[in-house]
Amino acid sequence: MEERDELQRRGAIVPPEARVRPPAPSHEEEHHTEEMPRVPVTRRRAFAFAVFVLSGVGFLYFVLPKLAGVGTTLHRLERGDTWWIVAGGALEICSFAGYVVVFRAVFVRGTGVIGWRESYQITMAGLVGTRLFAAAGAGGIALTAWALRRSGMERRIVACRMVAFMVLLYAVYVGSLLIDGIALGTGLLPGGGPFAITILPAILAVVLLAITGAVTLLPQDTERRLYRWASGYGRRARWIAKAVAIPALAASGVRTAISLVRTREPGLLGAVAWWGFDICVLWAMFHAFGKPPPFAVIWMAYFVGTLGNLLPLPGGLGGVEGGLIGAFAAFGVDFNLSVLAVLSYRGNSFWLPTLPGAVAYFQLRRTVARWRGEQHSGSAAPHAEPGPAAGALQGS
């Protein structure tokens, strides 16, 4: 006991089972003290953001077309096939419907609080967070996690399922790079393409899949073992404590995703719909303005180009457009047609959902306030106990 207290006094890491913790706040107190993720909005920051968005839009829709010899894009957009443009909007709605479906398959399974309406609000509000903040959608992830916590879901379960959710979504992404990259690079599918944009992304996909698979090999008690290994690091203990929890969380999330796939949960097809319908929007925009390249080329260029979302730009604005246009140029697609198709596609995927997403954000705040009142009065519907197939979702 004295040795353990001395270690804690010095700031060393003590294994979870040996630590002395202060009394934990009650389940209700923890929810009430957790506030909605916010970013301080000052006049200077709001002005800078507005200038960035307007500058980006002006460059993409007016300057770039002039440089490319396309003419004024807005006038060219008016000449596009109306039916294909409308079809693109409908396909985008289907894409977000798929997102809601896979969200429910991962997070709502075995719970009795979050219905379809609440699922829509959380996903669309998360979209606004993704659009407004950079870092590959970190704002949307934080907002989604906050809403789930306020619904009554335990923090540990939220973290585990969030990892599983991202693994399931991006398994489609990585799988597409592998399958389509090899098929185009070897000539199995029409369209061709250089090594750097076909085989190289496929190799990267293999590496990512291997790393993900290796994570599942970590033992169940990884966190406890790492705590023992890191004990005695003094002042660096806090940072090490946070770092050693990451491998255990990643392993738990990946195992949860695999367990969901093994249950053949139909809602997981929503992940395919999320990506697939969005690719079809880009395909429809090519049809609206000319003869599209082979679908396999659109498929590959889409996933390579959307890597622009990783750039520290709000919603990838500018980065995604440049990435997509550059990818199509590498495949030899007509540059003028690519500019029109890509900008029209982004008009659907970026701007179309933003307004309903903003509305959903404020609706979610009212929903969370209602949950808070129900939890305070004890009238909230409790989370249902998971069945045998859902046991892996509990973050164990």
Classify each residue of 181-190 as buried b or exposed e, where b means 16 or more C-beta atoms within 10 Å of its C-beta: bbbbbeeebe
Contact present, 65 and 73 (Cβ < 8 Å): yes
6 occurs within a structural domain: no
Q: Report whether 92 contacts 352 (CB < 8 A).
A: yes
Residue 216, pLDDT score: 78
**Cα torsion through 336, 339, 341, 345, rounded to 10:** -170
**Within a domain: 256:** yes
Torsion of CA 145, 177, 100, 264, to 10 degrees: -100
Whether this prediction's pTM lies above 0.85 is answered by no
Do 119 and 101 meet the contact criterion of CB atoms below 8 Å apart? no
CA distance 319 to 265: 35
Residue 10 is assigned to a structural domain of this protein: no
Q: Is residue 224 part of a domain?
A: yes
* Residue 233 CA: distances (Å) to CA of 18, 98, 230, 319, 352: 16, 46, 6, 41, 51
**What pLDDT does 72 receive?**
52
Q: Residues of 370-389 as b/e, b for ≥16 C-beta within 10 angstroms? A: ebeeebeeeebeebeeeeee
Is residue 39 domain-resident?
A: no
288 and 88 Cβ atoms separated by less than 8 Å: yes
Residues of the chain falling short of pLDDT 70: 1-79, 110-112, 131-139, 219-245, 310-318, 376, 378-396
Residues in the chain: 396
Q: Look at residue 395 in the predicted model and tell me its pLDDT.
A: 40
Residue 119 lies in a domain: yes
Angle at which helix 116-132 crosses helix 82-103, to 10 degrees, equals 110
192: left (phi over 0), alpha (psi -120 to 50) or beta: left
How many structural domains compose the chain?
Answer: 1
Cβ-in-10-Å burial (0-12, 13-18, 19+) of 44 comes to exposed
Structural domain span for residue 323: 86-377+385-394
Contacts with 48 (C-beta within 8 Å, 6 or more apart), sequence order: none
Q: Which helix (H) or strand (E) holds 6?
A: helix 2-10
Is 167 a member of any domain? Answer: yes
Q: Is 393 helix (H, G, I), strand (E, B) or coil?
A: helix
What is the sign of the dihedral through the CA atoms of 381, 387, 392 and 396? positive
Beta carbons within 8 Å of 349's beta carbon, 6+ residues apart: 92, 95, 278, 281
- The whole-number pLDDT of residue 179 equals 95
Question: pLDDT at position 21, please?
Answer: 42
Asked, for residue 134, whether it belongs to a domain, the answer is yes
Burial 1-33 (b: 16+ CB within 10 A, else e): eeeeeebbeeebbbbeeeeeeeeeeeeeeebee
